Structure 1
Protein backbone atom coordinates (compact mmCIF):
# COMPACT_ATOMS: atom_id res chain seq x y z
CA UNK A 1 0.00 0.00 0.00
CA UNK A 2 2.71 2.46 0.96
CA UNK A 3 4.57 1.74 -2.28
CA UNK A 4 1.41 2.57 -4.23
CA UNK A 5 0.79 5.68 -2.15
CA UNK A 6 4.31 6.90 -2.84
CA UNK A 7 3.76 6.41 -6.58
CA UNK A 8 0.42 8.19 -6.43
CA UNK A 9 1.98 11.09 -4.53
CA UNK A 10 4.73 11.36 -7.15
CA UNK A 11 2.16 11.46 -9.96
CA UNK A 12 0.15 14.11 -8.12
CA UNK A 13 3.30 16.21 -7.69
CA UNK A 14 4.09 15.90 -11.40
CA UNK A 15 0.55 16.94 -12.30
CA UNK A 16 0.73 19.89 -9.90
CA UNK A 17 3.83 21.13 -11.75
CA UNK A 18 2.19 20.82 -15.18
CA UNK A 19 -1.04 22.71 -14.52
CA UNK A 20 -1.94 25.93 -12.72
CA UNK A 21 -2.66 25.83 -8.99
CA UNK A 22 -6.30 26.63 -9.70
CA UNK A 23 -6.58 23.78 -12.20
CA UNK A 24 -4.88 21.35 -9.83
CA UNK A 25 -7.24 22.39 -7.05
CA UNK A 26 -10.26 21.74 -9.31
CA UNK A 27 -8.92 18.36 -10.42
CA UNK A 28 -8.31 17.22 -6.85
CA UNK A 29 -11.74 18.48 -5.74
CA UNK A 30 -13.30 16.39 -8.53
CA UNK A 31 -11.30 13.35 -7.44
CA UNK A 32 -12.50 13.86 -3.86
CA UNK A 33 -16.11 14.13 -5.08
CA UNK A 34 -15.75 10.92 -7.09
CA UNK A 35 -14.34 9.17 -4.04
CA UNK A 36 -17.29 10.35 -1.97
CA UNK A 37 -19.71 9.14 -4.66
CA UNK A 38 -17.94 5.77 -4.75
CA UNK A 39 -18.63 5.35 -1.03
CA UNK A 40 -22.12 6.90 -1.30
CA UNK A 41 -21.19 9.72 1.08
CA UNK A 42 -22.34 13.33 0.78
CA UNK A 43 -20.27 16.32 1.90
CA UNK A 44 -22.69 16.88 4.80
CA UNK A 45 -21.80 13.44 6.15
CA UNK A 46 -18.07 14.17 6.43
CA UNK A 47 -16.61 15.12 9.79
CA UNK A 48 -17.15 18.88 10.33
CA UNK A 49 -13.49 19.87 10.07
CA UNK A 50 -12.95 17.78 6.94
CA UNK A 51 -16.16 19.13 5.40
CA UNK A 52 -14.94 22.67 6.04
CA UNK A 53 -11.57 21.94 4.39
CA UNK A 54 -13.32 20.25 1.46
CA UNK A 55 -15.53 23.31 0.94
CA UNK A 56 -12.40 25.50 0.93
CA UNK A 57 -10.83 23.17 -1.62
CA UNK A 58 -13.93 23.29 -3.85
CA UNK A 59 -14.15 27.07 -3.66
CA UNK A 60 -10.48 27.46 -4.61
CA UNK A 61 -9.61 29.05 -1.29
CA UNK A 62 -6.83 26.49 -0.78
CA UNK A 63 -4.43 26.26 -3.71
CA UNK A 64 -1.07 25.05 -2.43
CA UNK A 65 -0.52 21.52 -3.79
CA UNK A 66 0.65 20.11 -0.44
CA UNK A 67 -2.49 21.37 1.31
CA UNK A 68 -4.70 20.27 -1.57
CA UNK A 69 -3.22 16.75 -1.43
CA UNK A 70 -3.65 16.58 2.34
CA UNK A 71 -7.31 17.58 2.13
CA UNK A 72 -8.00 15.11 -0.70
CA UNK A 73 -6.46 12.31 1.39
CA UNK A 74 -8.50 13.31 4.46
CA UNK A 75 -11.71 13.39 2.42
CA UNK A 76 -10.94 9.99 0.88
CA UNK A 77 -10.18 8.44 4.28
CA UNK A 78 -13.23 9.97 5.96
CA UNK A 79 -15.53 9.07 3.07
CA UNK A 80 -14.24 5.49 3.16
CA UNK A 81 -14.87 5.27 6.89
CA UNK A 82 -18.35 6.82 6.68
CA UNK A 83 -19.29 4.73 3.65
CA UNK A 84 -18.12 1.51 5.29
CA UNK A 85 -20.01 2.35 8.45
CA UNK A 86 -23.20 3.06 6.47
CA UNK A 87 -22.86 -0.21 4.55
CA UNK A 88 -22.22 -2.19 7.74
CA UNK A 89 -25.24 -0.63 9.45
CA UNK A 90 -27.37 -1.44 6.41
CA UNK A 91 -26.23 -5.07 6.48
CA UNK A 92 -26.86 -5.33 10.22
CA UNK A 93 -30.35 -3.86 9.88
CA UNK A 94 -31.17 -6.28 7.10
CA UNK A 95 -29.84 -9.19 9.16
CA UNK A 96 -32.01 -8.14 12.10
CA UNK A 97 -35.10 -7.97 9.87
CA UNK A 98 -34.36 -11.41 8.48
CA UNK A 99 -33.89 -12.86 11.95
CA UNK A 100 -37.13 -11.28 13.19
CA UNK A 101 -39.07 -12.63 10.24
CA UNK A 102 -37.43 -16.01 10.46
CA UNK A 103 -36.77 -15.92 6.72
CA UNK A 104 -33.94 -18.40 6.51
CA UNK A 105 -34.01 -18.40 2.70
CA UNK A 106 -32.97 -14.73 2.71
CA UNK A 107 -29.84 -15.58 4.69
CA UNK A 108 -28.74 -18.09 2.03
CA UNK A 109 -28.96 -15.45 -0.74
Structure 2
Protein backbone atom coordinates (compact mmCIF):
# COMPACT_ATOMS: atom_id res chain seq x y z
CA UNK A 1 0.00 0.00 0.00
CA UNK A 2 1.30 3.47 -0.85
CA UNK A 3 0.01 6.58 0.87
CA UNK A 4 0.87 9.83 -0.87
CA UNK A 5 0.09 13.15 0.79
CA UNK A 6 0.77 16.12 -1.48
CA UNK A 7 0.09 18.81 1.09
CA UNK A 8 1.12 19.82 4.56
CA UNK A 9 -0.18 17.35 7.12
CA UNK A 10 0.33 16.86 10.82
CA UNK A 11 -0.13 13.12 10.75
CA UNK A 12 -1.56 10.05 9.12
CA UNK A 13 -3.71 7.53 10.99
CA UNK A 14 -3.35 3.94 9.82
CA UNK A 15 -5.43 1.17 11.36
CA UNK A 16 -3.98 -2.34 11.15
CA UNK A 17 -6.48 -5.18 11.14
CA UNK A 18 -4.35 -8.25 10.58
CA UNK A 19 -6.04 -10.60 8.17
CA UNK A 20 -3.77 -13.48 7.04
CA UNK A 21 -2.10 -13.99 4.68
CA UNK A 22 0.04 -10.85 4.89
CA UNK A 23 2.38 -10.02 2.06
CA UNK A 24 4.97 -7.28 2.16
CA UNK A 25 8.06 -6.10 0.33
CA UNK A 26 9.67 -4.87 3.55
CA UNK A 27 12.86 -6.71 4.44
CA UNK A 28 12.88 -8.58 7.76
CA UNK A 29 9.11 -8.59 8.26
CA UNK A 30 7.97 -11.12 10.86
CA UNK A 31 4.36 -12.22 10.07
CA UNK A 32 3.71 -13.52 13.61
CA UNK A 33 3.64 -9.93 14.96
CA UNK A 34 0.80 -7.48 14.40
CA UNK A 35 2.98 -4.61 13.29
CA UNK A 36 3.01 -1.82 10.78
CA UNK A 37 6.13 -1.70 8.69
CA UNK A 38 7.14 1.62 7.16
CA UNK A 39 9.64 1.05 4.40
CA UNK A 40 10.12 4.55 3.11
CA UNK A 41 9.21 8.04 4.30
CA UNK A 42 9.70 11.11 2.17
CA UNK A 43 9.53 14.37 4.10
CA UNK A 44 9.04 17.50 2.09
CA UNK A 45 8.71 21.09 3.09
CA UNK A 46 8.41 24.39 1.34
CA UNK A 47 11.47 26.24 0.14
CA UNK A 48 12.51 29.27 2.14
CA UNK A 49 10.11 32.23 1.85
CA UNK A 50 7.23 30.04 0.61
CA UNK A 51 4.35 28.53 2.59
CA UNK A 52 0.98 26.82 2.46
CA UNK A 53 -0.55 23.94 0.54
CA UNK A 54 1.75 23.07 -2.36
CA UNK A 55 4.00 25.98 -1.26
CA UNK A 56 2.23 28.43 -3.57
CA UNK A 57 2.23 31.48 -1.26
CA UNK A 58 5.10 33.96 -0.80
CA UNK A 59 6.08 35.01 2.70
CA UNK A 60 5.53 38.61 3.67
CA UNK A 61 8.06 41.09 5.01
CA UNK A 62 9.15 39.41 8.24
CA UNK A 63 11.35 41.36 10.67
CA UNK A 64 15.09 41.21 9.91
CA UNK A 65 14.35 39.16 6.78
CA UNK A 66 13.59 36.09 8.90
CA UNK A 67 11.66 33.17 7.46
CA UNK A 68 7.92 32.92 7.88
CA UNK A 69 6.19 29.74 9.02
CA UNK A 70 6.24 27.30 6.12
CA UNK A 71 2.84 26.07 7.27
CA UNK A 72 0.75 29.21 7.77
CA UNK A 73 2.94 32.13 6.63
CA UNK A 74 3.02 34.02 9.92
CA UNK A 75 6.14 35.87 11.02
CA UNK A 76 7.19 34.66 14.48
CA UNK A 77 9.15 37.84 15.32
CA UNK A 78 6.75 40.30 13.71
CA UNK A 79 7.02 42.46 10.61
CA UNK A 80 9.53 44.92 9.21
CA UNK A 81 8.68 48.47 10.32
CA UNK A 82 6.98 49.40 7.05
CA UNK A 83 4.70 46.35 7.11
CA UNK A 84 1.84 45.02 9.23
CA UNK A 85 -0.89 42.40 9.37
CA UNK A 86 -0.85 38.73 10.27
CA UNK A 87 1.28 37.89 7.24
CA UNK A 88 3.24 41.18 6.96
CA UNK A 89 1.73 41.89 3.53
CA UNK A 90 0.04 45.19 4.42
CA UNK A 91 1.85 48.52 4.17
CA UNK A 92 1.66 50.22 7.58
CA UNK A 93 -0.75 53.18 7.55
CA UNK A 94 2.01 55.58 8.70
CA UNK A 95 3.98 54.79 5.52
CA UNK A 96 1.06 54.88 3.07
CA UNK A 97 1.28 58.67 2.92
CA UNK A 98 5.06 58.87 2.63
CA UNK A 99 5.40 56.84 -0.57
CA UNK A 100 6.84 53.64 0.91
Point out the structure with the larger strand share: 2
Tell me the TM-score normalized by structure 2.
0.28
The structure with the larger Rg is 2
Structure of higher RCO (CA pairs closer than 8 Å, 6+ residues apart): 1
Tell me the TM-score normalized by structure 1.
0.26
Point out the structure with the larger helix share: 1
